């Protein structure tokens, strides 16, 4: 990512759309538009200020066109890069290119999904693959399950370690009024839940809910003139390793081992500086893999690292304070909401779940079947 400058742009607005189960016939673009206006209100900008539009969704094939039409805006820069749940982290990097080059000044990144209302099968139909489909894996679950199984075999990770991730997420969710899950969860409940794709029970898997979000980015100079304290983009990193799980060379190593170092290098910070992590937890193995690949613990130690409530409230490292995709919200492509929590932590807006002195946060996005990995590091003004 040479050419992108640490802190050259900032997030100035961030908002979720309505989340959970929305009214019948709500469209994904309704949710994108609602979130976009909420995010603009958050920073005091108007629709006419938006000249960059970044959209990806599974139900809207040509996202930038659909949202621009709905809002009747004519963005100068638009991008619909679709690499699954991490698309929005990539959009941040692309928005930074465009803003730094002066191609646009105010960029909106938006997402919406009604997958709970219309069913996952309707919202995210799988492409037929003659080399995988005949075996009837439940995708994406079985792909991540096979990564977990290999990690367990190679490093002694256990189903209890996986369950720790789900329980920590639930404890954070109970501190987040917007979280879907409202009841406590135990390790035993995770282990004894309905098995979906071994070693995952349904409690090792993310929620299936409706929802969306939007963030507004602008130049550092303009950001200083707006309503809220800017949250600067200190570093970004992105990589693609494969599309189908059969082509991932080592099931225990993800592209986060590439995107993380890129983002840290650009940000000029180290793991010790990061006060809070937002890690795309589609499945309980994900945070374990990402903590390792992003350098927060040695390879193979992720399971032991998260045990004993280490990433739960009051633990040694604050991870997924929103409650994550496992317990807060997972509307199909969850990456934008992964960033919104990391942004709010730097702003200090997280109420009961606020991490103290959170001047640097890291948001890590995952897309496909561990296929695309993108990392964004955010910082407050005093980190510049």
Q: Which residues bind other proteins (CB under 8 A)?
A: 130-132, 134-138, 142, 145-147, 149-150, 153, 194-199, 245-246, 251
In this complex, which beta carbon is closest to other proteins, that of residue 129 or of residue 189? 129
Kindly state the smallest distance separating residue 133's Cβ from other proteins, in Å.
9
Which residues touch 104 (CB under 8 Å, ≥6 apart)?
51, 52, 75, 76, 77, 95, 98
Kindly state the smallest distance separating residue 28's Cβ from other proteins, in Å.
28
- Rounded to whole angstroms, the Cα distance separating 291 from 214 reads 26
In this complex, which beta carbon is closest to other proteins, that of residue 150 or of residue 229? 150
Kindly state the smallest distance separating residue 250's Cβ from other proteins, in Å.
10
In this complex, which beta carbon is closest to other proteins, that of residue 226 or of residue 288? 288
Kindly state the smallest distance separating residue 81's Cβ from other proteins, in Å.
23
Kindly state the smallest distance separating residue 136's Cβ from other proteins, in Å.
6
In this complex, which beta carbon is closest to other proteins, that of residue 1 or of residue 196? 196
Q: At what angle do helices 256-267 and 285-293 cross, to 10 degrees?
A: 50
Kindly state the smallest distance separating residue 199's Cβ from other proteins, in Å.
8
Tokens at 138, concatenated: 């439940």
Q: Tokens 């005949």 — which residue?
A: 134
Kindly state the smallest distance separating residue 240's Cβ from other proteins, in Å.
14
Q: For residues 108 and 216, is the Cβ–Cβ distance under 8 A?
A: yes
Q: What are phi and psi of 320, to 5 degrees?
A: 55, 60
In this complex, which beta carbon is closest to other proteins, that of residue 141 or of residue 236? 141
Task: Give the total residue count for the chain.
Answer: 384
Kindly state the smallest distance separating residue 23's Cβ from other proteins, in Å.
29
In this complex, which beta carbon is closest to other proteins, that of residue 184 or of residue 198? 198
Classify residue 284 by its DSSP letter: T
How buried is 268 (Cβ within 10 angstroms: 0-12 exposed, 13-18 middle, 19+ buried)?
Answer: middle
Region of residue 25 (left: phi > 0; alpha: psi -120 to 50; beta: else): left
In this complex, which beta carbon is closest to other proteins, that of residue 149 or of residue 257? 149
In this complex, which beta carbon is closest to other proteins, that of residue 149 or of residue 350? 149
Q: Where are the beta strands (DSSP E) in the chain?
A: 9-16, 52-55, 77-79, 106-113, 195-197, 200-201, 211-219, 231-240, 276-279, 318-319, 360-367, 372-379
Kindly state the smallest distance separating residue 162's Cβ from other proteins, in Å.
13
Region of residue 77 (left: phi > 0; alpha: psi -120 to 50; beta: else): beta
In this complex, which beta carbon is closest to other proteins, that of residue 107 or of residue 146? 146
Tokens at 11, concatenated: 């997030």
295: cis peptide before it, omega within 30°? no
Which residues touch 345 (CB under 8 Å, ≥6 apart)?
275, 276, 278, 318, 321, 354, 355, 358, 361
Q: Computed from CA positions of residues 152, 157, 163, 168, in that sequence, does the dihedral angle turn out positive or negative?
A: negative
In this complex, which beta carbon is closest to other proteins, that of residue 228 or of residue 242? 242
Kindly state the smallest distance separating residue 126's Cβ from other proteins, in Å.
14
């Amino acid at each position: 990512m040479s050419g992108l400058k640490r802190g050259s742009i900032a997030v100035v607005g961030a908002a979720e759309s309505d989340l959970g189960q929305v009214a019948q016939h709500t469209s994904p673009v309704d949710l994108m538009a609602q979130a976009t206006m909420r995010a603009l209100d958050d920073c005091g900008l108007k629709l006419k200020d938006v000249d960059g539009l970044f959209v990806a969704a599974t139900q809207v094939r040509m996202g930038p066109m659909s949202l621009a039409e709905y809002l009747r805006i004519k963005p100068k820069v638009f991008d619909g890069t679709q690499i699954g749940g991490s698309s929005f982290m990539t959009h941040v990097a692309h928005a930074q290119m465009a803003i730094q080059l002066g191609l646009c000044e105010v960029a909106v990144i938006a997402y919406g999904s009604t997958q709970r209302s219309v069913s996952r099968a309707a919202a995210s139909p799988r492409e037929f693959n003659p080399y995988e489909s005949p075996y009837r894996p439940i995708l994406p679950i079985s792909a991540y399950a096979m990564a977990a199984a290999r990690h367990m075999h190679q490093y002694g990770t256990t189903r209890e370690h996986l369950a720790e991730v789900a329980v920590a997420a639930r404890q954070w969710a109970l501190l987040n009024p917007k979280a879907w899950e409202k009841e406590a969860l135990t390790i035993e409940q995770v282990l004894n839940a309905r098995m979906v794709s071994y070693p995952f029970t349904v409690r090792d898997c993310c929620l299936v809910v409706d929802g969306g979000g939007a963030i507004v980015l602008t130049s550092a100079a303009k950001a200083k003139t707006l309503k809220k304290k800017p949250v600067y983009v200190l570093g970004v990193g992105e990589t693609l390793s494969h599309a189908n799980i059969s082509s991932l060379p080592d099931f225990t190593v993800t592209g986060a081992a590439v995107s993380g170092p890129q983002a840290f290098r650009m940000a000029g910070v180290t793991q010790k500086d990061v006060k809070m992590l937002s890690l795309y937890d589609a499945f309980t193995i994900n945070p374990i893999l990402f903590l390792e690949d992003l350098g927060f613990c040695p390879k193979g130690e992720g399971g032991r690292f998260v045990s004993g409530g280490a990433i739960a409230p009051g633990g040694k490292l604050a991870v997924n304070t929103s409650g994550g995709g496992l317990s807060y919200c997972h509307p199909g492509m969850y990456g934008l909401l992964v960033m919104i929590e990391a942004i709010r932590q730097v702003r200090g807006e997280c109420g009961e779940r606020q991490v103290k002195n959170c001047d640097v946060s890291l948001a890590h996005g995952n897309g496909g079947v561990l296929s695309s990995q993108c990392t964004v590091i955010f910082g407050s003004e005093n980190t510049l």
